[in-house]
């Protein structure tokens, strides 16, 4: 890009693996310089940084940043690094993608208050904390926020109640922030099944799930990345939740996210 039109800058949390990696790669291919946040996936984050740096068709990536989003100080460090005017992006930020999350399984009566607090801290408090810290930079664009949610926010799954609660709350926050932070655009993507959950090894159960998806397959990380890129580019869309589930929610009679 020319000096008159510098590359936009994005931060993707949980960027090193799975859906986060696909999102970061898609944004880089679309011309974004991407901060690659990770927690324990250092090797994967460095490998992704290397791959993007060597891809002539992708924008130059920004350095990986390690931060435990359960920790207040680590979240402040992440935000301060992104906003540093002397840093590699000059403090610019055009897009925040809150992707990092936990997906803990357990029957409600077998889990504890501490389990619930941990899930809420990572899946709800951390995205909102980062949005608050980074909002002034996003407002300069104005830029955008995309929260990665889950169709389970409106159609809860057994044994994943903590996860469902956290995503339902973040869905509500997404809509509220679209009004409060305007002209910064705040949207969400709500994937259905993208990878088979731990413990779901039974071929018959998997087949039953696929049969309930009108498009005939579970999703892929690339499907989610496409939706994130759409919302990042859509200049007159805010407060919306885009279900990326192959029509499963509609077929089940669930209400629209």
Does a structural domain hold residue 217?
yes
Give the domain range for residue 81. Answer: 9-251
What is residue 234's DSSP assignment? Answer: -
Structure confidence at residue 196 (pLDDT): 81
The edge-to-edge listing of strands for the beta sheet with 144-148 is 64-66, 33-38, 9-12, 95-98, 144-148, 185-191, 241-244
Structure confidence at residue 209 (pLDDT): 87
Structure confidence at residue 202 (pLDDT): 84
Q: What is the dihedral sign for C-alpha 23, 29, 34, 37?
A: positive
Alpha-carbon distance of 34 to 211, in angstroms, equals 37
Does a structural domain hold residue 3?
no
Which tens digits make up the pLDDT trace of 38-75? Answer: 999 999 999 999 999 999 999 999 999 999 999 999 99
The CATH number of residue 233's host domain is: 3.40.50.720
Q: With both helix axes pointing from N to C terminus, report the angle between 126-139 and 72-83 in degrees, rounded to the nearest 10.
A: 20
This prediction's pTM = 0.94
Alpha-carbon distance of 126 to 129, in angstroms, equals 5
Q: Using an 8 Å Cβ cutoff, are 38 and 68 in contact?
A: no
Domain count, the chain: 1
The answer for residues whose C-beta is within 8 angstroms of residue 220's C-beta and 6 or more apart is: 22, 194
Q: Using an 8 Å Cβ cutoff, are 224 and 244 in contact?
A: yes
Does a structural domain hold residue 4?
no
Is omega for the bond preceding 142 within 30 degrees of 0, making it cis? yes
Closest to 94 measured CA to CA, from 51, 53, 62, 52: 62
The answer for residues whose C-beta is within 8 angstroms of residue 115's C-beta and 6 or more apart is: 104, 106, 162
Does a structural domain hold residue 124?
yes
- The low-confidence residues of the chain, meaning pLDDT below 70, are 1-5, 198-199, 254-257
Does a structural domain hold residue 1?
no
Structure confidence at residue 23 (pLDDT): 99
Structure confidence at residue 1 (pLDDT): 42
Does a structural domain hold residue 29?
yes
Alpha-carbon distance of 73 to 71, in angstroms, equals 6
Alpha-carbon distance of 208 to 204, in angstroms, equals 6
Does a structural domain hold residue 256?
no
Does a structural domain hold residue 257?
no
């Amino acid at each position: 890009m020319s000096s008159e039109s510098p590359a936009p800058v994005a931060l993707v949390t949980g960027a090193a693996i799975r859906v986060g990696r696909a999102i970061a790669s898609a944004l880089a291919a679309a011309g974004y310089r991407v901060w690659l946040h990770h927690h324990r996936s250092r090797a994967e984050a460095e490998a992704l940084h290397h791959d993007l740096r060597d891809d002539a068709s992708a924008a130059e990536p920004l350095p990986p940043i390690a931060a435990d989003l359960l920790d207040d100080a680590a979240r402040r460090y992440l935000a301060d690094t992104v906003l540093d005017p002397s840093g590699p992006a000059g403090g610019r930020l055009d897009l925040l993608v809150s992707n990092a999350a936990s997906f803990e399984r357990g029957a409600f009566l077998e889990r504890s208050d501490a389990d619930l607090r941990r899930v809420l801290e990572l899946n709800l408090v951390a995205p909102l904390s980062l949005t608050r810290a980074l909002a002034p930079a996003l407002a300069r664009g104005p830029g955008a926020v995309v929260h990665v949610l889950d169709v389970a926010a409106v159609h809860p799954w057994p044994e994943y109640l903590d996860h469902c609660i956290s995503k339902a709350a973040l869905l509500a926050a997404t809509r509220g922030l679209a009004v409060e932070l305007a002209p910064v655009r705040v949207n969400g993507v709500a994937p259905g099944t993208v990878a088979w959950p731990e413990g779901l090894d039974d071929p018959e159960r998997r087949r039953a799930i696929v049969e309930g998806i009108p498009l005939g397959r579970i999703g892929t990380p690339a499907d989610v990345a496409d939706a994130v890129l759409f919302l990042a580019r859509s200049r007159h869309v805010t407060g919306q939740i885009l279900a990326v589930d192959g029509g499963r929610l509609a077929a089940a009679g669930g209400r629209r996210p």
